[in-house]
Amino acid sequence: MNHIQITDTQPIDWVYVSEGGATIVFSYRGREDPRFDGRVLRLRKTSLGGSGATPSCDIDGEEPDDPMVSFQKDFISQLVPQTFLPELDVVLLNPSWLYLLESLRDRDRPPERRMKDGIDKGRRKGVLATNLIGGEGTIAVEIKPKWGFLPKAHHLSEETAGTKTSACRFCMHTYLRSEEGGFLSEYCPLDLYSQNETRVRKALHDLWTAWDRSDGSRNNLRIFASGEMVKPAQDSYGRLVNLLAGDEPSTSRTDPKDAFISALIPLLLSSKVLQVISTLQRMLDALDIEGLSKLHAISSPGNAQSSLASLTVDPSYEDWHGFVAAYRTGFCSWDHANPDPANIKSYLMAYLLSATFKDCSVILRIKEGDRSPQGAHSVSIIDLDQKSINRLGKWEELDRTIVARYRSASQQKRCIDQ
């Protein structure tokens, strides 16, 4: 396969955009080139001082493509309408090119990120993706909606059932973070997913408020104006205000938060994107982590290492092919209230896939002067990475901690799953 060479560009052609826990993103600003115009470069990161997580080569000595590409093309695309998925391509990397890119752009990263990790310069392959945040006169809003459902009580313990079926996972986790020094956000994902205009407005109001209070550091909401990330305390905020105002006279401009909400409401209510995400989350996480743990223990009788924390071998490519085929033909009709231990492998893979959709982001693009749900607007889902099975034990422990701390809260929310 003929892959694109990153050395056909210069490191100075790429501008820092944003990053998450696993990847860092740069947008192309170089000379005209159809291979790179309108694209972003997604690179894997590694902790400082670490050797990185560079994948082993195949029998021909070639590094496999970034799993983000194959996982989306071969599996995610069978579950999510193609219109919601960005275009992804493999790009061949060069260590000296990456070192120069890092030296040029590392200062643009948040200080707290620079202290922890950097570009994995041992990688030979990266990802070119559609640039969903660029474009002069365009506002791009990235929302990480998180968990969009409450679990059923079938597999929950007596101690956790009342809490878990009343308060959503995100709101409970937010409470834990506030107890550890963060601030308590009012945002509830179930409001955003509700398709009820009043509740969606509240969700957007709460997301904006948290974004403003944290000076844009919370990753549930990121805003870009003409390709530049906006922070409330920076000069770029003025550009956002102007774009939101559109053609309105300066004397009649509304509050930026109100304009932001009014611009997004038609797009969110007319799109099926959140329904697609929440349905997949709910159907794939049929047992909750508690039920999954119990089923795994039952399926491994007499095995002292039967906890979820003991699982370390990720599903193979063939395993994923088999599971996605099973999901599309029968998984949703299984009796999940009485799961068969023989299906434990499918349930484990389903939970991993659900975690992908619980952690993805949605990009909403609004073109200046166009406030209709159609036209120049677009909606996409990003960050659909495969999750590793070795995280199940940590997720199980975190779940116990979150629920235990929330049960001790003096005031508890009641989240509405609609």
Separation CA 372–CA 395 (nearest Å): 41
Question: Would you place residue 375 in the very low, low, confident or very high pLDDT band (cuts 50, 70, 90)?
Answer: very low
Pick from 393, 387, 397: which is nearest to 315 by CA? 387
Single-letter amino acid code for the residue at 54: T
Which residues, listed in sequence order, are joined to residue 45 by a DSSP beta bridge?
119
CA distance 278 to 145: 9
Radius of gyration of the chain (CA): 22
Summarize pLDDT for 297-318 with one digit per residue, the tens. 999 876 656 689 999 999 999 9
The pLDDT of residue 368 is 64
pLDDT digits (tens, 9 = 90+) for 249-258: 444 456 888 9
The 10s digit of each residue's pLDDT in 3-13 is: 899 999 999 99
Q: How far is CA 14 from CA 114, 139, 142, 242, 387, in A?
A: 18, 20, 20, 26, 28
CB atoms within 10 A of CB 388: 14
Cα 4 from Cα 36, distance rounded (Å): 9
Q: Give me the residues paired with residue 224 across strands.
A: 140, 229
Query: CA-to-CA distance for 126 and 30, rounded, in angstroms?
Result: 18
Rounded CA-CA distance 167/160 in Å is 11
Q: Which helix (H) or strand (E) holds 98?
A: helix 95-105
Side-chain half-sphere CA neighbours of 168 within 13 A = 24
Residue 226 to residue 197: CA distance in whole angstroms: 28
Q: Are 368 and 243 in contact (CB under 8 A)?
A: yes
Could you identify the residue written with the tokens 């969700």? Answer: 203
Topology annotation, domain 4-131: Phosphorylase Kinase; domain 1 (3.30.200)
Average pLDDT for 217-243 = 81
Domain(s) of CATH 3.30.200.110: residues in the chain: 4-131
In SS3 terms, 116-179 reads as CEEECCCCCEEEEEECCCCCCCEEEEEECCCCCCCCCCCCCCHHHHHHHCCCCHHHHHHHHHHH
Q: How far apart are CA 269 and CA 201, in angstroms?
A: 10
Using 50, 70 and 90 to split pLDDT, how confident is the model at 49?
confident
d(CA 413, CA 397): 22
| pLDDT tens column, 75-126 | 999 999 999 999 999 999 999 999 999 999 999 998 989 999 999 999 999 9
Average pLDDT over residues 309-337: 94
Q: What percent of the chain has pLDDT over 90?
A: 68
Give residue 59's pLDDT band: very low, low, confident or very high (50, 70, 90). Answer: very low
Closest among 131, 78, 57, 171 to 405, alpha carbons compared: 171
When pLDDT is averaged across residues 182-209 and rounded to a whole number, the result is 94
Residues 346, 333 contacting (CB under 8 angstroms): no
Checking if the pLDDT of 56 tops 60, the result is no
